[in-house]
A and B are shown apart, each in its own frame.
Chain A
Amino acid sequence: MTASASSASAAVAAVDAEPLGRRLLAPIRDGLAVAGRNLIGLRRVPRLLIFSTVQPIVFVLMFRYVFGGVVGAALHGVSYVDYLMPGVFVQVATFGAVNTAIGLATDLQTGLMERFRSLPMARSAVLSGRTAADLVRNVFVVALITGVGYLVGFRVHSSLWGYLAGALLVLAFGFAMCWVFAVVGLAVGDPETALAASFPVLAPLVFASSAFVPVRTMPGWLQAFAEHQPVTVTADAVRALMLGTPVGSQVWSALAWDVGILAVFAPLGVWLYRRVV
């Protein structure tokens, strides 16, 4: 059970020169280990499971049946549920990113982050393992919501490929948002504050967008923001892909947002991770 003197000195000899191959693989290897750990947590905490599943279902049903009548009248030729579902996908992926903030803030609070920082693991693994686990969760949620949408009348009008391309775009946006909220989680450092700090950012992003209602129904000053912000751009691109309307440059704009968000927030997150604790 104990370290023998010989194995201790062998360990001492090996620590200074790590083979290049191992060093290059370390971020993936350690990221996967942390992601696995986070996915187990997701399965075992009912609160997170409900947050991930019940809440999106409620959104689908509520918008479909409560607002559907009013908003549907403002749409020309598209049924509201077909308009709504791409928006709900994006909304779910955006709200779900709060999970990243809460998860990291919890690890900070429990001291687990401190232990990770003393381990010979890749510096990026705590963050990449967290966001990768949240990406897996989003795959599951998007599939679930697609099923619920089908039950209430949603149909893909393009093709299976159109649906899959749209779903991938949703996942890419969700992943980018996870890095934004990774920064929030590390910056505030406790789960309650992380949740409280997230909502004022999330609500305008999701609701002042084309996710649930067409932007042209909003006042002019709001349209200027709503037209160009990433939730609208992504929701419009996903909608075009799934409904089979002309796609144009929307997909590229959406991807540009994802890349731009990641380029800013991923390095910022890793930098914060090195400093906090």
Chain B
Amino acid sequence: MTPPAIRVAGLTRRFGSVTALDRVDFEVEPGTVFGLLGPNGAGKTTAIRILTTILRPTEGRAEVLGRDVVAHPAAVRRLIGLAGQYAAVDPNLTGRENLRLIGRLTQQPTGRLAPRAAELLDAFDLTGAADRPVRTYSGGMRRRLDIAAALVPEPPVLFLDEPTTGLDPQSRTALWQLIRELVADGTTVLLTTQYLEEADRLAHRVAVLAEGRVVADDAPGVLKDRLGTTVIELGMGEEPRAHRAAAVITTRLDRTAEREGSLLRLATPDGSLLLMDVLHALEDENLTPHTIAVREASLDDVYLALTGHRTGDTP
């Protein structure tokens, strides 16, 4: 039986008294995209740094294609590509020189260096800037070059730490497409993101990290059903009205609305339908909302649902 592309078991990392990862477990099937979802400080980057042999775990195990990252780091390094959160490219080299350097340092055959660099520059729309020093690049161009650099050795397992942060919408869509193509050809991708939408669009499975722990690990569709993708917010004007409205929603629609002051919040997978029902029910009780907002569920909403507090709060 082939091992999972990535296996993490009881993974713990402490920095002094801070526990960045707390007994984390997950597995990633080969040829799939796995999303690690969480806000800053949740432990996403720490997990990636351990899996890419940059950092040692305090406890627990991490394996890439069956190789333990602590016992066989050299073997792991030959299987992975990493694009970190900061565009880790040399600003004094040109884009092409950067890619060739990575090619040399990953022991690509000399004859492959130039064609591979050209292929990637083309794929990331950097051919025009290929021979300019990277310090003249925009932030988005650097990010694209950084991801291209991770792909130079055609790694079977690719780690992308917040790959679309700082990219314009067009580049983001192009990158999503590229990730889908890589995965279709057998590459396994682990990516971290702060955006529910991104995890939903790309990942076959999503683990939600909160303060170093996995609080949910499921297919994004299942998570969405559990958590709701649409959020309806009703401004009731005064707190007593909000209390009464919440009670109406519970008794007549069998839904639970969260209340924050005079504001009611409902997360749901079927936004517009529920909105109609809610408005009818409230109108019948003479509780017409003062304001109505319908929006996509944010990571904050997911967090609120899973952990009971907001991303910025301490428990």
Chain B residue numbers with a CB within 8 Å of A277 are 54-55
| B299 interface hit (Cβ, 8 Å) | no
Check B154–A7 contact: CB distance below 8 A.
Answer: yes
Given A115-B88, A120-B78: A37 and B93 interface contact (C-beta under 8 Å): yes
| A11 interface hit (Cβ, 8 Å) | yes
CB distance from B256 to the nearest CB of A (A): 44
Chain A residue numbers with a CB within 8 Å of B89 are 112
Chain A residue numbers with a CB within 8 Å of B102 are 115, 119
Instruction: Give Cα distance in the complex from A9 to B156, angstroms.
Output: 8
| A134 interface hit (Cβ, 8 Å) | no
Chain A residue numbers with a CB within 8 Å of B86 are 110-111
Check A117–B54 contact: CB distance below 8 A.
Answer: yes
| B186 interface hit (Cβ, 8 Å) | yes
Check A111–B187 contact: CB distance below 8 A.
Answer: no
Check B182–A3 contact: CB distance below 8 A.
Answer: yes
Check B156–A12 contact: CB distance below 8 A.
Answer: yes
Check A8–B186 contact: CB distance below 8 A.
Answer: yes
Check B93–A16 contact: CB distance below 8 A.
Answer: no
Check A118–B154 contact: CB distance below 8 A.
Answer: no
Chain A residue numbers with a CB within 8 Å of B91 are 110
CB distance from A16 to the nearest CB of B (A): 5
Chain B residue numbers with a CB within 8 Å of A4 are 185-186
| B65 interface hit (Cβ, 8 Å) | yes
| A40 interface hit (Cβ, 8 Å) | yes
Instruction: Give Cα distance in the complex from A116 to B102, angstroms.
Output: 9
Instruction: Give Cα distance in the complex from A114 to B52, angstroms.
Output: 10
Check B90–A111 contact: CB distance below 8 A.
Answer: no
CB distance from A202 to the nearest CB of B (A): 25
Instruction: Give Cα distance in the complex from A88 to B292, angstroms.
Output: 77
- Chain A residue at minimum C-beta to C-beta distance from B76: A15
- Chain B residue at minimum C-beta to C-beta distance from A113: B88
Check B149–A115 contact: CB distance below 8 A.
Answer: yes
- Over the window 70-95 of chain B, the binary record of Cβ atoms lying under 8 Å from chain A Cβ atoms (1 yes, 0 no) is 00101101111010111111111100
Check A44–B181 contact: CB distance below 8 A.
Answer: no
Given A5-B185, A44-B133: A118 and B54 interface contact (C-beta under 8 Å): yes
The A112-155 residues at the B interface (CB cut-off 8 A) are: 112, 114-121, 125
Given A15-B75, A18-B74: A8 and B187 interface contact (C-beta under 8 Å): yes
Q: B92 is contacted by which of A1, A29, A45 (Cβ under 8 Å)? A: A45
| A2 interface hit (Cβ, 8 Å) | yes
Chain B residue numbers with a CB within 8 Å of A30 are 104-105
Q: B105 is contacted by which of A11, A33, A41, A111 (Cβ under 8 Å)? A: A33
Given A8-B186, A12-B65, A112-B90: A118 and B156 interface contact (C-beta under 8 Å): no
Check B90–A11 contact: CB distance below 8 A.
Answer: no
| B107 interface hit (Cβ, 8 Å) | yes
Q: A40 is contacted by which of B97, B186, B187 (Cβ under 8 Å)? A: B97
Chain B residue numbers with a CB within 8 Å of A18 are 74
Check B82–A115 contact: CB distance below 8 A.
Answer: yes
Chain B residue numbers with a CB within 8 Å of A111 are 84-88
Q: A2 is contacted by which of B87, B104, B154 (Cβ under 8 Å)? A: B154
CB distance from A114 to the nearest CB of B (A): 6
Q: Interface residues of A: mostly helix, strand, loop or mixed? A: helix
| B175 interface hit (Cβ, 8 Å) | no
Given A8-B154, A11-B154, A115-B84: A1 and B133 interface contact (C-beta under 8 Å): no
Instruction: Give Cα distance in the complex from A71 to B186, angstroms.
Output: 74
Chain B residue numbers with a CB within 8 Å of A112 are 88-90
Given A1-B120, A8-B156, A16-B67: A41 and B182 interface contact (C-beta under 8 Å): no
Q: Which of B182, B184, B186 has the most chain A CB atoms inside 10 A of its CB?
A: B186
| B123 interface hit (Cβ, 8 Å) | yes
Check A114–B79 contact: CB distance below 8 A.
Answer: no
- Chain B residue at minimum C-beta to C-beta distance from A4: B185
Q: A33 is contacted by which of B88, B104, B123, B181 (Cβ under 8 Å)? A: B104
| B53 interface hit (Cβ, 8 Å) | yes
CB distance from A161 to the nearest CB of B (A): 37
Instruction: Give Cα distance in the complex from A45 to B90, angstroms.
Output: 12
The A260-277 residues at the B interface (CB cut-off 8 A) are: 277
Q: B182 is contacted by which of A2, A36, A117 (Cβ under 8 Å)? A: A2
Check A118–B82 contact: CB distance below 8 A.
Answer: yes
Instruction: Give Cα distance in the complex from A225 to B91, angstroms.
Output: 42
CB distance from B22 to the nearest CB of A (A): 22
Instruction: Give Cα distance in the complex from A117 to B77, angstroms.
Output: 9
Chain A residue numbers with a CB within 8 Å of B84 are 111, 114-115
Chain B residue numbers with a CB within 8 Å of A37 are 90, 93, 97, 101
Given A112-B89, A112-B90: A2 and B187 interface contact (C-beta under 8 Å): yes
- Chain A residue at minimum C-beta to C-beta distance from B105: A121
Chain A residue numbers with a CB within 8 Å of B88 are 110-112, 114-115
Binding site for B on A (CB under 8 A): 1-5, 7-9, 11-12, 14-16, 18, 22, 29-30, 33-34, 36-37, 40-41, 44-45, 110-112, 114-121, 125, 277
Could you pull out 11 A-B pairs where Cβ atoms are within 8 angstroms?
Answer: A1-B181, A9-B156, A12-B156, A14-B78, A33-B105, A110-B90, A111-B87, A115-B88, A118-B54, A120-B105, A277-B55
Q: Other CB < 8 Å A-B pairs besides A37-B101, A111-B87, A120-B105, 9 of them?
A: A1-B181, A3-B182, A7-B154, A8-B154, A15-B79, A112-B88, A115-B149, A118-B80, A119-B106
